[in-house]
Amino acid sequence: MKRLFLLNTFLFCFHVFGWNDMGHAIVAQIAYNSLSPDVKAKADALISSLDSFYPADNTFVKAATWADHIRSDWKAFERWHYVDQPFATNRTLRADRLSNENIVWALCQSTFALQHEDKLARAMMLRFLLHFVGDIHQPLHAITRLEPLRPHGDHGGNDFHIMVDGKPMNLHIYWDIGLGQFEAVGMDKVPSMAAQYTKEFPREKMASKASNMTYSTWAKESYLLSKKNVYKLPEGSSPDKAYRENGQRLVREQIALAGYRLAHLLERLIGTSNETLLTGCPAKS
């Protein structure tokens, strides 16, 4: 009964527009281009089963943004989008305990549902999966930076303020928009940008990483990328050309990798592959 209530609440929650759709759409497009015809058909059928409730998110690519579209109106799933792994700038700082309900946990829930639940649950959890695979590859969705003035962290750069073109912005938003790559770009550009990213970062050159399906490893990768690349600039400063160009390249690489991993995952979740899926998720009884 509790599960049915949650599903019904999902179906009737108010739909709003998400501002960071472009990156998620490109991830989904790269994945979709890589899927076998059989898995494409199965995924399309699951997505279309919710068309009457979410007509604006009625394709595989558009459905990748759905989890953000419901986010402001259904706060219960807010923690599913990130994991606040602590990055302490001072050894005396002690991080808050990690929430068990985080993006790694949510990916495991989505995986289990796609393997074992009924069609309605699978349709919804596929939409979450499309989105969360993108989120976990955004470096700032896997870290919180602790410092004496923010002993509880900066919430993935949301409280870390910078200046971009003379205007204030937080670091998280700057990376969500691809360090400017996704600004003033229409969704009609998604196919060409997906093609550009896969040409720059071909799947065959990322084969080993693309086949790694351990979700905690994905989170650790993003955490380390944040430490090494994202937090290189001082708070309150403006990103210089070198920072911007390095960050933009990293965004393209992460989006390509996320797309390849999403395709690999779906082939094993809803396809006919007999390969054992090693996600690192705990077994459910």
pLDDT of residue 138: 97
What are the DSSP E strand ranges found in 49-138? 86-88
**How far apart are alpha carbons 31 and 210 in whole angstroms?**
11
Torsion of CA 178, 179, 185, 186, to 10 degrees: 30
| Residue 248, domain member (yes or no) | yes
3-state secondary structure of 38: helix
Per DSSP bridges, beta strands 167-170 and 161-164 are: antiparallel
**How far apart are alpha carbons 20 and 67 in whole angstroms?**
11
Domain of 56, in residue numbers: 21-269
What would the pLDDT profile of 260-278 be if each residue is shown by its tens digit? 999 999 999 999 877 788 8
| Residue 42, domain member (yes or no) | yes
| Residue 8, domain member (yes or no) | no
| Residue 276, domain member (yes or no) | no
**How far apart are alpha carbons 97 and 108 in whole angstroms?**
20
| Residue 257, domain member (yes or no) | yes
Q: What is the DSSP letter of 162?
A: E
Residue 40 has pLDDT above 80, yes or no: yes
pTM of the model: 0.90
- Mean pLDDT (the chain) is 89
pLDDT of residue 39: 97
| Residue 275, domain member (yes or no) | no
What would the pLDDT profile of 58-75 be if each residue is shown by its tens digit? 999 999 999 998 877 777
**How far apart are alpha carbons 108 and 95 in whole angstroms?**
24
What would the pLDDT profile of 160-208 be if each residue is shown by its tens digit? 999 999 999 999 999 999 999 998 899 999 999 999 999 999 999 999 9
**How far apart are alpha carbons 127 and 119 in whole angstroms?**
13
**CATH number for the domain harbouring residue 186:** 1.10.575.10
| Residue 15, domain member (yes or no) | no
pLDDT of residue 163: 98
What would the pLDDT profile of 6-21 be if each residue is shown by its tens digit? 443 333 333 333 237 9
| Residue 4, domain member (yes or no) | no
pLDDT of residue 128: 96
Domain count for the chain: 1
